[in-house]
């Protein structure tokens, strides 16, 4: 067969609705059940109803089929190893589990990405090809369809099937976290400027500020919450207020602080707990 010019294009067809961040707000994460290949997340108020997160997957390579005149097609699918396993089935039976059948894989996941080595192999076989990525229809994570120009059961096709079956060729990567506490961002220099303007704090030429505890706390509480990292009309959080006050030194009933580069902007990163982390190539 005459070697054809190789081309590659990609289409993305999503079969499910995915969020940029998995929404775990309706689940009781304290009661989650962790197993070797999966995690069960019960919904709040129930021990039986919930959703599964899968932590290990296996690759299935389909038998090639005709797609269009001169074109053949083969599918690579990533399914959880837990499906139909004894551990998974026994857990469902023993606990009367009601599966919400909801795919919680976030949209920023790497889904069935064909490896550079696999693309190189297809090129070496002289196959013109295109790929189509399908988002997972629960519980499948994703599928990758490779369509290529050749005749049925050609030597090139056999080599392609053998290679895709025997080697790690598609990647799956996603991470799901729970935010335990949000980030805190306090515009300390702006707050000091406002309090100085209101007379609650006095400032000298060396950027030393001081003022009565009662006046500082009273006027600071009246300032826009945006200076404490909040949006809209949201109130100042306790953590932001604590960060603000702890930057001062208390001497008797007087608050003192020197403004410098290290405290112009006070920041504490968000605290997150990792629920699942999948990073594999199959």
The DSSP annotation for 45-84 comes to T-SSEEEEEE--EEEEEPPPEEEETTEEEEEEEEEETTTT
**More confident: 272 or 277:** 277
Report CA Rg, the chain: 29
Among residues of the chain, what percentage have pLDDT more than 70?
92
Q: In this predicted model, which residue has the larger pLDDT, 45 or 1?
A: 45
Indicate the length of the chain as a whole number.
Answer: 282
pLDDT of residue 45: 95
Whether residue 4 lies inside any domain: the answer is: no
Confidence (pLDDT) at 232 = 76
Assess if residue 270 is contained within a domain.
no
CA distance 53 to 38: 6
Match 């208390």 to its residue by tokens.
250
pLDDT at 6: 31
Q: What is the mean pLDDT of the chain?
A: 89
Full-model pTM: 0.70
Task: Based on the fold, state whether residues 54 and 19 are members of the same structural domain.
Answer: yes
* Band (183; pLDDT cuts 50, 70, 90): confident
Dist CA 160 CA 182 (whole Å): 49
Sign of CA dihedral 110, 41, 44, 94: positive
Residue 251 lies in a domain: yes
In a domain, 2, yes or no: no
Q: Are residues 196 and 152 in the same domain?
A: no
**Same domain for 205 and 171?**
no
Q: Based on the domain organization, do 93 and 45 belong to the same domain? A: yes
Same-domain pairing of 199 and 84: no
Tell whether 94 and 197 lie within a shared domain.
no
In a domain, 36, yes or no: yes
C-alpha distances in Å from residue 59, one per residue of 71, 91, 102, 168, 274: 23, 24, 21, 9, 25
Does 259 share its domain with 160?
Answer: no
Higher pLDDT, 152 or 85: 85
Examine the pLDDT at 24 and tell me if it is beyond 60: yes
Q: What domain range includes position 130? A: 10-179+275-281
Confidence grade of residue 15 (pLDDT, cut at 50, 70, 90): very low
Distance from the Cα of residue 266 to its chain's centroid: 26
Model confidence pLDDT, tens digit, residues 236-259: 989 999 999 999 999 999 999 999
> Is 4 a residue whose pLDDT tops 80?
no
> Is residue 55 one of the residues assigned to a domain?
yes
17 inside domain: yes
Mean per-residue pLDDT, 104-113: 91
Q: Which residues contact 238 (CB under 8 A, 6 or more apart)?
A: none
Taking residues 268-276, report their average pLDDT: 85
34 and 131, same structural domain?
yes
Token representation of residue 91: 């857990």
**Same domain, yes or no, for 229 and 256?**
yes
Count: domains in the chain: 2
pLDDT at position 9, please? 34
The reply to whether 128 and 193 lie within a common domain is: no
User: 52-56, 194-198, 207-211, 227-231 — which is least confidently predicted?
Assistant: 227-231
pLDDT band at 177 (very low <50, low <70, confident <90, very high): confident
The predicted pLDDT at position 273 comes to 83
Name which of 87-96, 97-106, 225-234 the model is least confident about: 225-234
Percent of the chain with pLDDT over 90: 75
For residues 127 and 192, membership in a common domain is answered with no
User: Count of CB atoms within 10 A of residue 188's CB?
Assistant: 20
Position 16 scores a pLDDT of 33
One domain for residues 172 and 233: no
Residue 258 lies in a domain: yes
The pLDDT of residue 21 is: 58
Helix axes 116-124, 155-166, angle to 10 degrees: 160
d(CA 75, CA 269): 42
């Amino acid at each position: 067969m005459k070697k054809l010019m190789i081309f590659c294009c990609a289409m993305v067809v999503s079969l499910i609705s995915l969020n940029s961040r998995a929404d775990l707000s309706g689940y009781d994460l304290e009661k989650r059940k962790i197993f070797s290949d999966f995690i069960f997340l019960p919904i709040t108020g129930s021990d039986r109803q919930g959703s599964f997160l899968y932590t290990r997957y296996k690759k299935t390579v389909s038998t090639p089929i005709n797609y269009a005149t001169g074109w053949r097609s083969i599918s690579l699918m990533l399914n959880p190893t837990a499906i139909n396993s004894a551990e998974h089935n026994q857990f469902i039976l023993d606990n009367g589990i009601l599966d919400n059948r909801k795919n919680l894989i976030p949209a920023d996941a790497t889904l069935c990405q064909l490896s550079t080595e696999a693309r190189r192999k297809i090129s070496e076989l002289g196959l013109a090809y295109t790929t189509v990525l399908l988002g997972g229809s629960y519980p499948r994570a994703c599928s990758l369809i490779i369509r290529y120009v050749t005749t049925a059961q050609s030597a090139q096709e056999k080599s392609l099937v053998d290679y895709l079956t025997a080697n790690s060729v598609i990647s799956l990567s996603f991470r799901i976290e729970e935010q335990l506490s949000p980030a805190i961002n306090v515009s300390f220099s702006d707050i000091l400027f406002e309090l100085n303007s209101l007379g609650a704090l006095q400032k000298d030429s060396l950027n030393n500020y001081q003022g009565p505890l009662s006046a500082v706390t009273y006027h600071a509480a009246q300032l826009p919450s945006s200076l404490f990292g909040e949006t809209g009309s949201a109130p100042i959080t306790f953590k932001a207020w604590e960060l603000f006050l702890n930057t001062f030194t208390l001497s008797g009933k007087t608050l003192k602080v020197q403004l410098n580069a290290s405290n112009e902007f006070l920041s504490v990163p968000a605290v997150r707990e990792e629920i699942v982390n999948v990073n594999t190539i199959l």
